[in-house]
Structure 1
């Protein structure tokens, strides 16, 4: 069975026949010197390039002109991008405002536009328990003009948790109904 000759391979840029080395990209054929970056106009060497707004760009031009900029350092981000707090970040620049630990893709708390890990946030900004002075990061009991951990709101005499909605007060501390 004979194959039909399709003729010479034509360059997508200059529309001339290509003899020798052929660059195949974007389902088209090019002379190596005609497959060029839309920004710097230099031939794109190797197999790596980016498409943007209908054109092709070499890796350095794409990084410099089209990559998102890190909110932490201002440099282009060419690898993993963290999108948080309305900005783009390098993973190693998206860090806790307290301990400086990388926050990565995990959870964080925000205070005044800065990210914090849950531990630093609790230590710096959470309400403090009137019983133990530790941060309250979950549900709190509000009584006696203060906030309390449920387990810290105890009777000043018997030390058992005060669970009734009515209780007495002794020297500014709760007193359960049995001890009152």
Structure 2
């Protein structure tokens, strides 16, 4: 008959036997008053703590000293972090520089370090078509020292698209081969 006697729990901090309540964390045992935050040195009460740089930190200290800071507001980020443009953002602060719509995890365009949705970017920064004045966000025809939408590069007389590689010019406007 064998009886297994368990060794008494020894505190990871003071190496003394623990009588009464035991804190078990990180596969070690502690007196409750010895499982402390590496920053404020107060006992960590409850089950929530963070590990950082081989130490443990209470939630308030970790948030204050180690959480990433939002580029938009400067406050610590304790929930979802968006990493964009080389900095961290709260999801609700990563917004279009034009319409202020949240950009979330979707695509965006950058101009001078600010994010923009595709519509605002096109409206503010894209080249404008000489024919209609609207932004060109796709392929363009470059002719007559300007850029044109394919559908806007039309003959000034018949208004049909000019599709030939050679065309005539009248008053700095294209003319198709038939109207020239």
Coarse TM-score class (shorter-chain normalised): over 0.9
| Residue in structure 2 matched with residue 164 of structure 1 by the alignment | 164
| Residue in structure 1 matched with residue 119 of structure 2 by the alignment | 119
| Residue in structure 2 matched with residue 154 of structure 1 by the alignment | 154
Q: CA deviation at 1:113?
A: 1.2
Q: CA deviation at 1:3?
A: 4.3
Matches of 1:89 and 1:166, distance apart in 2: 52
TM-score normalized with structure 1 length: 0.95
Runs of 5+ in structure 2 lacking a partner?
none
TM-score normalized with structure 2 length: 0.95
Per-residue CA shift, 1:118-157, capped at 9, x if unaligned?
1111111111111111111111111111110111111222
Number of paired residues? 180
| Residue in structure 2 matched with residue 33 of structure 1 by the alignment | 33
| Residue in structure 1 matched with residue 66 of structure 2 by the alignment | 66
Matches of 1:175 and 1:46, distance apart in 2: 80
Q: CA deviation at 1:114?
A: 1.0
Runs of 5+ in structure 1 lacking a partner?
none
| Residue in structure 1 matched with residue 15 of structure 2 by the alignment | 15
Aligned-residue RMSD, C-alpha = 1.3
Per-residue CA shift, 1:32-68, capped at 9, x if unaligned?
1111100001111111111111100011101111111
